[in-house]
Structure 1
Amino acid sequence: MKNLSAGRRVRRMKASSGCPMLRSRKTEREFRSETSHQGPLDIEDLVKVGHKVGTCPYYGSRSMVPTADLVILPYQSLLSKTSRESLNLSLKNNIIIIDEAHNLADSLISMYDAKITSSQLERIHSHLEKYLERFQNLLGPGNRRYIQTLMVLTHAFLQSIAYPKGANYVDPLSSGSEVQSDLDFSIGINEFLFSLNIDNINLVKLLHYIEESNIIHKVSGFGDKLAMLQNDVALEGTTAEASTLSGFRALVSLLSSLTNNDGDGRIIISRARVISSVHERGYLKYVMLTGEKIFSEVASEAHAIILAGGTLQPIEEIKERLFPWLQPDQLHFFSCGHIIPPKNILPVAVSQGPCGRSFDFSYSGRSSSSMIEELGMLLCNLVAVVPEGIVVFFSSFDYEGKVYEAWKESGILARIMKKKRLFREPRKNTDVELVLKEYKETIDELSSTNAKYNPAPCSGAVLLAIVGGKISEGINLSDGMGRCIVMVGLPYPSPSDMELMERVKYIEGLESSLVSKTQARLDILKCCKHRGRQYYENICMKAVNQSIGRAIRHINDYAAILLVDARYASDPSRRSFSHVCDKLPQWIRSHLIPSPGNYGAVHRLLHQFFKFHRKETSNQ
C-alpha cells in the first residue's frame, strides 16, 4: 500500500511539473539575453537558440513581448481581446500597422462567426448522456444541473435543424426555391432563444462553469475512451468534425455568440435534408454583422493605426464598416503611383471577341455555348501574340470546369495547346505549389528554347486560375509567369449566399423581415439603393484587384491586363454614375483603354506592346 501511495505521489509530481522546457527561470533569462543580443531572429533562429539554451523557444519569445520594440503577429492575435491578454500584449499608446488591410473588415467579423453541425451536436449529446449516467452519484448537484442544462441546449439545437417529418425528397434539378427556403433561413438571437424555449437559461453563468470546471475535456476524454473500448470508433484518424473536443469548442463558441446583442448578428439555420437519396446534415451558424465595436476597442487604446495594402480601394467602405465614428480630420489617406513606368502596363477593357460577339459573362449569359466559344477564340488569338505565360481568371471552379470541357469537345483546347501548354489550378491548396512549379519550369524551358531558335512569341504556357483561389491571393506571378492577365467577367458573389445577404441587409439598413425566402434573397439587391449595393460591388472589385495584382511585381516587370466583359468597357467621359472601373487601383485605372473597338484593335495593341518590350529586352 505504501509503495502504491508513493507511486501515486510520483505520478502527481510528474503531472504537476509541467513542460520540462519551462522548469528553469534561469534558462528563460538566458534565452531572453541571448536573443536580445542577436537582434531580429526568424522562427528557425529562435528554435536554434532554444535548443542551445535548453528552454522552449515559443514561450521564450512570448515572454519577450512586453519589452519588444516590434511585434509581428496575425490578425486574430491582434484583434481578439482574449488572445492579446494571453500574449500579455498591450496596445496602449502603441502604433499598429495592419498589412493587407483590404481583408480587415471581413476577417474581423468572421473571427466571431460560430458554426456547429448536427453530427457534432449528436456526438456531444451522446457523450454528455453517458458521462452523466456514469458519474451521476459522484457529481455534486451544481455539476449535475449544468451538465443537464448542456443536454437541454444540445437537444434543442438538434431539434431546430432536424429534417422535417413528412418532408419530401428535394430534387436538385427542380427549381424548389420554396422548399429550399423552408430548410435554410435566418433568425435573430432573441427570436432563436424564445422559439426553442431556452431564453431562461443564463448562458453567461454556463460559460463561466464550462471554463472553470474544464468539463469539455473531461466529457470528451471519457466519451472517446468509452467509444474506443466499445469499438465504435477508432480514436486515431478521426476527422476534425468527428472529434468531440472540437465539437465542444464549436458549441462553446456558439453559446458565447448567443450572449451578443440581438442586432450584432444573425443565426442561420440550415436543416437536414435528403437530396437524390443522400442525407445532408444540418447546421447552426452565428454570423457576425458588425466589426465596429470590436475595432473600436483596438483603436481607443492605440496611439495610431496604419492600414496598408496594394488594393485598399475603395477606402470609403473600410471607413464605414470599421470606424464610422471617426472624425474626418482624424483619417488621413495616402496613395502613390506604381513603381513601374506607364510603358510597362497595358490594361484594356475587351468588349468583343474575334468573331464580333459582345462579351457578356453575367450569370444568365456566361454559360451559353456561343459565349464559351468566343472566349476560346480569344485565347486562341492571345497564345499567338503573348509571349511566355498567360493567366486566365474564372469566377469559380465549376465555371472553369464547364469552359474547359466545352473547349475540349469543340477542339479549341487542342488549338491552344499547339501554341502553349495548359495548366489548371487544382482544388486542393496543397497541390497548387506543384502546379505553379511545373508552370514556371515550362515557361522558362520553352521560352528560352524559342528565343534561341525561333524568335516568334509562340511559347510558354497558359494557367487557368480561380478568383478567390490560392493563386489569386498572395502568389507572385512576376516576369514570364504573368505576361498577360485575363479577367473573365465580373466575379460577383452569388446572391443566394445567405450570409452575404444578411450582411448586405445590415449595411443597407433593411429590415430582416424583408428577406424570408430564397426568391426574396435573390431580389434583395434591388431593394438596396446605396451602401448595400456598394458593398456587394466592392466584394467583386476587391477580388478583381487582388487577381490582376498578381502580375507586375518589380520595377522592370511588364504585363498586359485584359478585362474581358462589355461591362468593363465604357467611355469615362460619358459616365454620369459610378462605374466598376472606378474601383480599380489608380495605377491601372489611369492607363485603362476603356474600349478600343473590335478585337482587331486589341490584337494590334498587344502586338505593339510586346514587340516594343522584346526590342528593349534584346537591347539590354
Structure 2
Amino acid sequence: MAATMAEQIHVIENVPVSFPFTPYPCQIEYMEKVIKALQNNTNAILESPTGTGKTLSLLCATLSWRQQLPAPVISEWDLQSDSKGPLGGRPKIIYASRTHSQLSQAIHELKSTSYRPKVSIIGSRDQLCINSEVMSKDSNAEKVHACHAKVAAKSCTYYNNVDLKRLSVPEGFIPDIEELVGMGTKNKMCPYYLAREMKTEADLIFMPYNYILDLRTRLVHGINITNTVVILDEAHNIERVCEDSSSFELTSTDIAHCIKDIDYLLKNKYEEAKEYLSELDTQTQNTLKDLANLKELFLCLEDSLDKIELKSENNECVKPGSYIFEFLGKAGITTETHVVLIDQCSQAIASLTSDQSLHRTSTNLQKFLEAIKIVFSGSCPAGMTRERMASLHYRVYIKSDNNKRKKKSDVWTTDNNTDDTCRRLCYWCFNPGYAMTELVRQGVRSVILTSGTLSPLESFTSELQLEFPVSLQGSHVIGKDQVWVGVVSKGPDNVHLNSSYQTRFTPAYMDSLGNTLVNFFRIIPDGVLVFFPSYVVMETLVTHWKEHSNIFMRMEQHKQIFKEPKFKNEFNSVMSAYYEKIGSADKVGGAFFGVCRGKVSEGLDFADNNGRAVIITGLPYPPFAEPKVQLKMEYLKDARSNFNRTELITDKQWYNQQATRAVNQAIGRVIRHKNDYGAIILCDERQEREGGEGERDE
C-alpha cells in the first residue's frame, strides 16, 4: 500500500482498512460483511443500493484483507496452489462485472485509493489487438487463427516485443482497456498478450463475468481459479448469464454452410494433390480422409435434423436434454469420439482462415465446434452420467420456420437461393447452478455476489445451488427528502395506464401515456429518463406519437428527445449528444428513451442534472408465449414437484421477478451519490399491486 495520498485507517473485523474518506455507516457495514466472508473462506451475497459507494467499499475491504493475511496461512496456500503469484501465494482476486464499461468504473475507483496491487484486465482480441492485418479479418475465429499463425511464425512485431519491452510498464500501472491499448501502441507491444503476461503476476484481475463463468473461455484465456476470491459485481443477471454460458442454438442453415465449407476444402485439397495422387504422403491422405468423414458427419446431422417429427400445429417439439446425445450419436458423435472431432474441426477452421486465397470464413464451423464443447464439457459428479445430467438441467427445443427466407449471405458465399424451411435446434440450460457448481468445483475460496438489485436474496441460493452464509440488504445514504416515489395509475384524460399485452397498443393507452409524459416533461428540469418494456414497444409508441397525433411535437417543446439505439456503434454518439444537451445553457433539457434490460438501464450513470427523474412506462415481463420462457417455467414446476427441489422459487415467482429486477435496475440510474436527488415515477396501475402478482405479458 502506498502512502502517497491522504487516507483514513478504519479497523474493521480486526483488519486495518485504508479508505480515501470517512465511510458512511452503510459502507462500514458492507465492508464488515466482505471481510467476514473472506476470513471464513465462505460465500457472500450483498445488496447495496446504487449510489452507496459499493464498488469502493468492496475493493478496499478485499485488498486490505488480502494484505493482512498472516504468514502461516500464506505458506499453507503456497503448498496448495500451483499459482506463482508475486506475493508468496496470497490468493488472487478476480473482479468480474457485466461490461468493460463497468470494469473501467471499478478501475477508476481503485485509483482513488492508496492501494496499488499488481493489476491485469482481460479482454478479447477485438478490444486489444493492434495488428491491423489481424484486425482486418471478418470473424473472431479468423482473427484468432491469424493471430496464432503470426505468433507461431514470429511475424508479429507487437507480440515479439512483449518480452523485450514489458519492463517498460511503470510500477503501479492500473490500466483499463483503453489505457492498456494506449500503452501497447506507444511501446509497439501487443496489449492482448501483455495483459496475459501481467495476469500471471497480478494480485487483482478484472474481467467480464462471462470470461469466468464459461469453462471454455477460462481455458482459452488460461484463467486458473483455484484458491481465488471471485467477485461478481452487478450480479443481478448472473443466473441468466450462467444459463446462457451453457447453452447453444444450431440451425439447419449453419449445418448446410458447414457442409459447403468442408466441400470447398475437399475440392481445394484435391486440386492441389490430383497430379500426385499415386504418391500422396500420409499426412495429405489423412487430411482428405478427415475432411471426407466430416462432410459425411454433417450430411448425417442435416438429415437427422430434417427428420425430427414436429407437432403439426406449431412446427415445434420439446425433448428432454438427454436427446442431444441421441441426436449427435446418429452421426457417430459420442463421448469417445468427440475429442477427435474437435481436433478435426479445429484443423479445418485453421485451413479456412490461414489461406486468404480461399476467401471464406469459418463462422459456422466455429459455432458447431462451440456447441460440441458445451455438450461434452465439464465433469459429472460420482454416479451421474452425462445423459442424466442433461435430462436434469437441459431441454432440447426444435422449431421449423416455414417462411421463405434468403440463405445467410456472407463474404464467403454468393448463394442467393431461398430456404423453404430452416430448422433450429436449441440446447437450453435452465439450471444456473450447473455453471456455478462447475466454477466452485475448481477450488474457489470465496464467491461474492453483489449488486444494487438482488432481492429476494433467497432465490440466488436455490437457483445457483450455492450457500451464502454471509448476506446483506443494505440501506441507502440519502434522506427521504432526496427522492420522491409514486405510482401514476391514470393519465390526464383519466384513461388507465396499463402496458399489458391487451392494452399497450390501443390508441387510448398510447395517447394517455404520451400526454402524461408531456406533462412531466413540462415541470421536471434538466434530464429525464423514460424506460419502456422493450424496443418494439418504444418504437411503436414513438411512431404513434409522431404520425397519429401532435404528442411528440409537444414533447419536443419541453425536452429534446434521444432514443437508445439498437446498434453498438451508434450508442456512444447518442449518449454524448444527450450529455451535451443537458450541459448546455439553453435549459431546455433532454429526455432519454431507453429500454429495460437495455444498455442504458444496466450500469450507466445519470447523476445530478443528467437524471432528475426516471419514468417507468410499464412492467417488463418476459414475453409469456416465448418457448424459452415457457420451458423455464415448466422446468421450475418439474424440479419442484418431481425432484422435490422445494427450495426453488415457483414459476410465477420467477416470472414476476424478471420484471421487478429489471425495473429496479432501471430506477437505479438516477440516485448516484449522497447529495443527489430525483423522482421515481411508475406509470402503470399494476405497480400499485404487490409485485404485479399474476400478471403475464404475452
Q: State the secondary structure of the residue aligned to 2:425.
A: strand
Q: State the secondary structure of the residue aligned to 2:557.
A: helix
1:254 aligns with 2:383: no
| CA distance 1:157–1:383, change in 2 (3 Å) | same
Distance 1:556 1:13 in 2: 53
| CA distance 1:442–1:207, change in 2 (3 Å) | same
Aligned to 2:59: none
Contact 2:564 2:600 in 1 (8 A): yes
Aligned to 2:171: 37
1:472 aligns with 2:601: yes
Contact 2:486 2:680 in 1 (8 A): yes
Distance 1:482 1:52 in 2: 38
1:420 aligns with 2:559: yes
Contact 1:193 1:199 in 2 (8 A): no
1:327-338 pair list within 5 angstroms: 330-338=468-476
Contact 1:392 1:488 in 2 (8 A): yes
Aligned to 2:661: 542
Distance 1:414 1:127 in 2: 53
Distance 2:305 2:345 in 1: 29
Aligned to 2:240: 106
The AA in structure 2 aligned to 1:463 is F
Give 1:191's match in structure 2, choosing from 323, 326, 348: 323
| CA distance 1:564–1:201, change in 2 (3 Å) | same
Contact 1:163 1:273 in 2 (8 A): no
Distance 2:323 2:431 in 1: 19
Instruction: Give 1:480 deviation, angstroms.
Output: 2.2
Give 1:181's match in structure 2, choosing from 278, 299, 314: 314
| CA distance 1:258–1:512, change in 2 (3 Å) | farther
1:161-560 pair list within 5 angstroms: 162=306, 181-182=314-315, 184-194=316-326, 198=330, 200-211=332-343, 214-221=346-353, 225-226=357-358, 235=359, 244-259=361-376, 261-263=389-391, 264-274=393-403, 281-300=422-441, 301-324=443-466, 326=467, 330-408=468-546, 409-445=548-584, 448-449=585-586, 459-509=588-638, 531-560=650-679
Q: State the secondary structure of the residue aligned to 1:367.
A: coil
Aligned to 1:28: 163
The AA in structure 2 aligned to 1:335 is Q
Q: State the secondary structure of the residue aligned to 2:484.
A: strand
Contact 2:290 2:344 in 1 (8 A): no
The AA in structure 2 aligned to 1:185 is C
Structure 1 stretches lacking a partner, 5+ long: 1-11, 168-177, 227-234, 236-242, 451-458, 514-528, 571-577, 582-620
Contact 2:297 2:331 in 1 (8 A): no
Aligned to 2:125: none
Distance 1:219 1:155 in 2: 20
The AA in structure 2 aligned to 1:579 is G
The AA in structure 2 aligned to 1:152 is E
| CA distance 1:544–1:153, change in 2 (3 Å) | farther
Instruction: Give 1:256 deviation, angstroms.
Output: 2.8
| CA distance 1:224–1:192, change in 2 (3 Å) | farther
Q: State the secondary structure of the residue aligned to 1:211.
A: helix
| CA distance 1:504–1:494, change in 2 (3 Å) | same
1:91 aligns with 2:235: no
| CA distance 1:355–1:466, change in 2 (3 Å) | same
Contact 2:492 2:512 in 1 (8 A): yes
Q: State the secondary structure of the residue aligned to 2:426.
A: strand
Contact 1:388 1:481 in 2 (8 A): yes
Aligned-residue RMSD, C-alpha: 3.7
Q: Deviations over 1:338-387 (max 9, x none)?
A: 22221111111122222222222211122221111211221222122211
Distance 1:318 1:434 in 2: 37
Q: What is the TM-score when the length of structure 1 is the normalising length?
A: 0.72
Q: Deviations over 1:446-469 (max 9, x none)?
A: xx445xxxxxxxx32222222222
Instruction: Give 1:125 deviation, angstroms.
Output: 0.6
Distance 1:499 1:152 in 2: 32
| CA distance 1:488–1:143, change in 2 (3 Å) | same
The AA in structure 2 aligned to 1:437 is S
| CA distance 1:564–1:410, change in 2 (3 Å) | same
| CA distance 1:225–1:114, change in 2 (3 Å) | farther
Q: Deviations over 1:230-260 (max 9, x none)?
A: xxxxx3xxxxxxx641111111122233435
| CA distance 1:265–1:351, change in 2 (3 Å) | same
Give 1:159's match in structure 2, choosing from 303, 306, 309: 303
Contact 1:429 1:470 in 2 (8 A): no
Instruction: Give 1:160 deviation, angstroms.
Output: 5.0
The AA in structure 2 aligned to 1:120 is D
Q: Deviations over 1:291-315 (max 9, x none)?
A: 3233123324122111111112222
| CA distance 1:40–1:422, change in 2 (3 Å) | closer
| CA distance 1:318–1:427, change in 2 (3 Å) | same
Distance 1:36 1:42 in 2: 14
Identical aligned pairs, as a percentage?
24
Give 1:68's match in structure 2, choosing from 190, 198, 202: 202
Distance 1:319 1:385 in 2: 44
Q: State the secondary structure of the residue aligned to 1:72.
A: strand
| CA distance 1:133–1:475, change in 2 (3 Å) | same
Distance 1:72 1:530 in 2: 32
Distance 2:304 2:336 in 1: 22
| CA distance 1:197–1:294, change in 2 (3 Å) | closer
Q: Which has the higher helix share?
A: 1
Q: State the secondary structure of the residue aligned to 1:333.
A: strand
Instruction: Give 1:275 deviation, angstroms.
Output: 5.3
CA radius of gyration, larger in: 1
Q: Deviations over 1:69-127 (max 9, x none)?
A: 11112213222334434544333332221111112121122122223333332221123
Aligned to 2:682: 563
Q: Which stretch of structure 1 is more off in the superposition, 146-155 or 401-410? A: 146-155
